[in-house]
Amino acid sequence: MGDFFQNGIITTLHKLPGYNIEDLEEKIRSISKQRKFALLLPSLFLELERDALPDILEELKGADYIHEVIVSLDLADKDQFEYAKDFFSVLPIKTTVVWNDAPDIQNIYKELREIGLEPGSQGKGRGVWTALGYILAKGEVYMVALHDCDIRTYVRDILVRLVYPVLSKRLNYDFAKGYYSRVTDKLHGRVVRLFFTPLIRAFKRIFGYREFFEYMVSFRFPLSGEIEMVKEL
């Protein structure tokens, strides 16, 4: 935890002394019997060949409270898709790999374009959007968690602290976003500092005060890849 700073209209939930991951996981196990949640992992095939993802899967083996893991796989041919299914089968949790390069899904994208609904270019955004469609169509979960597949320092604590505020019936949140302090001798957050924040400030100068602008600029890590939200969102 870097500080106790509360910025704008977004609540920052800090990792305070006395926090215990085992206690919180027990609460999640109990709540998730009524409020099931899915974990969505957007992944390029090349991430299966890097060091971070095997460590992430090793940590997730203990997350027996996840209803289903959905992998949104991009830039993969048929053989790589089959390899990915085997790669993720190490999880003792129901796991589904959505192959975004599959001919059937590409035909869906084509049909959408023909009726004027552009699904966007290939990338994490479209991959997440496609996998969310699968999750919503099944209609089995109360909420969806999402995080990247390239977190080299991943521990299950990241998932636990991300899902609990939305999963809890007491806290009454519909959306949560990951935040972790980075106190080093380097200048982190270049895209936020040099693009995102100036862009929001420009919007405010052009359009005047809008609650949405205040909402966006109040996040500590507005571009982080860890989010959690109820399925209605």
Which residues on adjacent β-strands are paired with residue 72?
A: 42, 98
In a domain, 215, yes or no: no
Q: Which alpha helices (DSSP H) does 139-196 contain, by range?
A: 156-167, 190-191
Tell whether the model's pLDDT for residue 3 goes beyond 70. Answer: no
Domain count for the chain: 1
Residue in this structure with the two tokens 């003792």, named with its chain if needed: 92
d(CA 131, CA 71): 8
- Give the contacts of 110 (CB within 8 A, at least 6 positions apart): none
Q: Stretch 39-58: mean pLDDT, rounded?
A: 96
Average of per-residue pLDDT values in the chain: 92
In a domain, 50, yes or no: yes
In a domain, 29, yes or no: yes
pLDDT in tens, 186-198: 877 789 989 999 9
Tell whether the model's pLDDT for residue 156 goes beyond 60. Answer: yes
Q: Which of 12-26, 52-66, 110-124, 147-161 has the lowest mean pLDDT?
A: 12-26
CATH code of the domain in which 73 resides = 3.90.550.10
In a domain, 5, yes or no: no
In a domain, 86, yes or no: yes
Tell whether the model's pLDDT for residue 1 goes beyond 60. Answer: no
Residue 2: its pLDDT value, please? Answer: 59
In a domain, 203, yes or no: no
What is the reported pTM? 0.90
d(CA 189, CA 224): 10
In terms of phi and psi (left: phi > 0; alpha: psi -120 to 50; beta: otherwise), the region of 176 is beta
Q: Assess contact for 123 and 72: CB atoms under 8 A.
A: no
Exposure string for 87-114, b = 16+ CB within 10 A, e = fewer: bbeebeeebbbbbbbeeebeeebeeeee
In a domain, 2, yes or no: no
Could you tell me whether strands 143-146 and 175-177 are parallel, antiparallel, or unpaired per DSSP bridges?
A: unpaired
pLDDT in tens, 126-153: 999 999 999 999 999 999 999 999 999 9
Residue 65: its pLDDT value, please? Answer: 96
Q: Which domain holds residue 77?
A: 21-181+224-230
In a domain, 157, yes or no: yes
Single-letter code of the amino acid located at 83: Y
Residue 189: its pLDDT value, please? Answer: 79
Q: With CA atoms as reference, report the closest residue to 87 among 77, 97, 78.
A: 97
